[in-house]
A and B are shown apart, each in its own frame.
Chain A
Amino acid sequence: GQNIDQPTEMTATEGAIVQINCTYQTSGFNGLFWYQQHAGEAPTFLSYNVLDGLEEKGRFSSFLSRSKGYSYLLLKELQMKDSASYLCALNSGGYNKLIFGAGTRLAVHP
């Protein structure tokens, strides 16, 4: 089976940097997604890591270490609009399945 762990809640200050961790146990997967979800809205794609290492995309970066079963999402220059839930998801089952963590609710305050 697969198990994905993320912190339930985090808080951070506007303009700061925050790192959201995701650890997982799985027998195999194709890649790891990060999605952003504002309350009551649909998840939206942030990043996808297939290989180990850091993927940078503007203010957001995502890191994957397959050997350590670990990923993180790094958000820089935080803005109030970054207050949302961040979902870590494994892409598995021959690309047919997304297994989601429960999500981390990030609150950005002034």
Chain B
Amino acid sequence: KAGVTQTPRYLIKTRGQQVTLSCSPISGHRSVSWYQQTPGQGLQFLFEYFSETQRNKGNFPGRFSGRQFSNSRSEMNVSTLELGDSALYLCASTTQGGYQETQYFGPGTRLLVL
């Protein structure tokens, strides 16, 4: 099976712009979670989607949003970018999103905000 894919892999934006990141889960996986990784804050949970519904959300401002499509692919959007949004954005997929399931991470999108 192909792994989790994320596009783009690298992105440079300027403050105030918006960005959309894409994640394609492993075939058959219906749950997609997003995480932000920074040197200072580590890995932090953004949100989780299952069957096109957001089931769980982390402590991030409303500028961070996401959605999931019927084919389980997911996108996350960050509006009005700030310098502090520079990070590695990771998505992870599981079959159902159960608490004992292994999460398979994609390679991530490295976002640099100037």
> Do these two chains interact?
no
